[in-house]
Structure 1
Amino acid sequence: MSTENQTHQAATLPSKATALKTTTRQTPTPGPTELLIEVHALALNPVDYHQRDTGFFIQEYPAILGSDVAGVIISSGPLTRESMKPGTRVTALASSFFNAGVDYGAFQRRVLVPEETVAILPDGGAVFPLAAVTTWNGWVWAGLMPAATTSQVQVSASEEGVFVWGASSSIGALAVQEAKLMGFVVYATASGRHHDYIRGLGADRVFDYKDEDVLGQIVQAAGADGVRIRIGYHATGDQHLAADVLHALRGEGQGEKSKLAIAPILDPELKVPDGVEAAFVYPPQDRAELKERNRAIFVDWLEGKLAGKQVVASPHIKVIKGGLGSVNGALDELKAGVSCLKIVVEL
């Protein structure tokens, strides 16, 4: 489909710390390895209101924010894979983090995306892209890969486990599902009212992070279960306590360091205990490596898991109608605080 002389609506950020403004933009044409997607739904993430309010990672204005979309392919570049045909329903990481310019960024009706960040979609897929990228970049840093099983890590006679701190967030909920699919015993923390839901996603044990003795509970449970835990994923919450838990699980006199992948920006006051290594989850900086990593996540892993219904949209979803004009208010709602809830704007 030719996009010459065509236009579409976008929710544009005119300058730092201002409200999004609905504008009309020229519809771009995809490059050789890009897709043009008509966006039907947007999933919001905390980084979206951080960018709006602080200008984080924005190089120039006006800017278009957002990362997670579900929609339909309108047109495709000549070097995209054969399955990426016009009319195909997809979910995509439509972020301007890695692609400069307002033709990228989810908060618009038509958006350009690199084909390696796209997966064919059954239902509910708008919530997956940023969570999939963030979680897998953490697992890869910890020594795992999107096709990993526990046979690829050092295991002892006891069972191998991981723990996920903040499992009721979108990143934490997907991390629980991924860890279970890799064959790990999964320990997780969440508010008490969400424990049944997190267990339903695959967690073997769930602990209330608000309990004063949560560290002791986790360590005691691991000992009783005979579970060895050397990898942790911190999705949200107290980074200090998460690092202390991993240190306590490690015990004394162990050789290899335990690893805690942290999705939020590292707390500058975080003091990591001896024997534990912690790092902010970050994608590869080399463009070729980034493209290969994204292909492994979206094409080799996510697309197959969605087709096989091995992962489910999580956490609970709240759909907001009203199109692009409702995005600013939806970001305010997310900023005010939600629990075990993903906000999706329907276009």
Structure 2
Amino acid sequence: MSTHQAATLLEKGTPLEITERQTPTLGPNELLIEVHAAALNPVDHFQRDLGMFVREFPAILGSDVSGIVAKAGSDVRPDTPKPGTRVTAFASSWFNGKADYGALQKYVIVSEDIVSVLPDSYSFVEGSVFPMAALTSWCGWLWAGISPSSPPSQKEGVFVWGASSSMGTFAVQEAKLMGYTVYATAGAQHHEYIKGLGAARVFDYKNEDILGQMVNSAKEDGITVRAGYLATGDQQLAIDVLAALSGGEKAKLAVAPILKKDLTLPEGIEAAFVSHPEDPVELKGRIRWVFRDWLEARLAAKELVASPHIKVVKGGLAAVNWALDELKGGVSCSKLVVEL
């Protein structure tokens, strides 16, 4: 049986170690991906350092990959990407806890539903940044009632709080593609970049009167805002802004980080942690729609920007610990990617 290299977490709170793993056998509805690039997310350093959401050791962390389909299971659908196809995929052990499904290794197993064909117009490095951002932000927007099946009127808007993050930049692009007027918050140095992704207005989250600025802008633009996506930042302030923008109507804020317990929710305002459906059938349908339908079509049409700014970490798997430490220290409008 063949083997491959992996960045392996042997126990929580220890550095990842480069190990040689058996290349696994596929299930009937799975694909084996030869990984060419893997993007890192903040949850990765929490898993390494604290063991969060890790069910068994040794573990392989990570979620976002791009590469080439090496093998296909015996019972994949006819429209599933064939061996030799360039793909981006959500390669995570999140759902089953098994190391064979973690991203940070040269060969990884994924479900046939959780991949998108990656056109030649995107490099492998660019392609690796899409999966988690797409799945997470869509789960948030759909919970908040924002969907391509119900296009907005010209006077409907949404806001994205923390728009310079990976989830935030993608949430901006999704909302713009659906036709919403997008308000966003980010550091002043990133405003033009976020506008380039589709935001109509970008506000500095450090401004003491950001609530007043956003409310006044909504009045000037004649829009109503009943949904928001918080990728990162002050949850209570975002809730207060949504309450003001909604004008007393019901509104929802989808929150990507863990929802704080001491939040004050005005009447009519809901806030919830972004999560995938618990029902297995609904989850499978959601995943297939995000990857095989929406993301694949948008990539083919060249409608998406690989965002935020990508920083390639030199050294491959051996550099992952250094990259996770840098991510833990805080990055701004930057996505760290390792090439394998």
Short-chain TM bin: over 0.9
Distance 2:74 2:58 in 1: 30
Contact 1:43 1:126 in 2 (8 A): yes
Q: Out of 327, 339, 343, which is 2:332 matched to?
A: 339
- CA deviation map 1:161-214 (0-9, x unaligned): 000000000100000000000110000000000000000000000000000000
Residue 84, structure 1, aligned to residue 77, structure 2: no
Distance 1:285 1:78 in 2: 27
Amino acid at match of 1:261: A
Amino acid at match of 2:109: L
Q: Secondary structure at the match of 2:304?
A: coil
Q: 1:270: Cα distance to partner?
A: 1.8
Distance 1:121 1:6 in 2: 26
Residue 69, structure 1, aligned to residue 65, structure 2: yes
Residue 41, structure 1, aligned to residue 37, structure 2: yes
Contact 1:65 1:95 in 2 (8 A): yes
Q: Out of 217, 240, 250, which is 2:213 matched to?
A: 217
Q: 1:6: Cα distance to partner?
A: 0.6
Amino acid at match of 2:246: R
Residue 113, structure 1, aligned to residue 110, structure 2: yes
2:303 matched residue in structure 1: 310
Amino acid at match of 1:318: K
Q: Secondary structure at the match of 2:31?
A: strand
Q: Out of 309, 316, 322, which is 2:315 matched to?
A: 322
User: Which runs of 5 or more residues in structure 2 are unaligned?
Assistant: none
Distance 2:293 2:314 in 1: 33
Q: Secondary structure at the match of 1:127?
A: coil
TM-score (normalised: structure 1): 0.94
Q: Out of 118, 140, 143, which is 1:141 matched to?
A: 143
Amino acid at match of 1:141: W
2:91 matched residue in structure 1: 94
- CA deviation map 1:199-236 (0-9, x unaligned): 00000000000000000000000011100100000000
Q: Secondary structure at the match of 1:274?
A: coil
Distance 2:242 2:170 in 1: 20
Contact 1:149 1:183 in 2 (8 A): no
Distance 1:79 1:149 in 2: 35
1:151-166 matches, cutoff 5 A: 151=152, 159-166=155-162
Deviating more after overlay: 98-107 vs 241-250: 98-107
Residue 59, structure 1, aligned to residue 55, structure 2: yes
Q: 1:78: Cα distance to partner?
A: 2.5
- CA deviation map 1:126-152 (0-9, x unaligned): 00000001000001111233x33425x
Residue 235, structure 1, aligned to residue 228, structure 2: no
Q: 1:269: Cα distance to partner?
A: 1.9
Residue 292, structure 1, aligned to residue 285, structure 2: yes
Distance 1:173 1:210 in 2: 18
Amino acid at match of 2:151: T
TM-score (normalised: structure 2): 0.96
1:266 matched residue in structure 2: 259
* Identity in percent: 63
Q: 1:109: Cα distance to partner?
A: 0.5
Runs ≥4 in structure 1, deviation > 3 angstroms?
none
User: Which runs of 5 or more residues in structure 1 are unaligned?
Assistant: none
Distance 2:317 2:304 in 1: 28
Q: 1:52: Cα distance to partner?
A: 0.8
Q: Secondary structure at the match of 1:103?
A: helix
Q: Secondary structure at the match of 2:99?
A: coil
Amino acid at match of 2:8: T
Amino acid at match of 1:271: T
Distance 2:17 2:69 in 1: 25
Contact 1:65 1:105 in 2 (8 A): yes
CA RMSD of aligned residues (A): 1.1
Distance 2:171 2:149 in 1: 13
Distance 1:60 1:99 in 2: 10
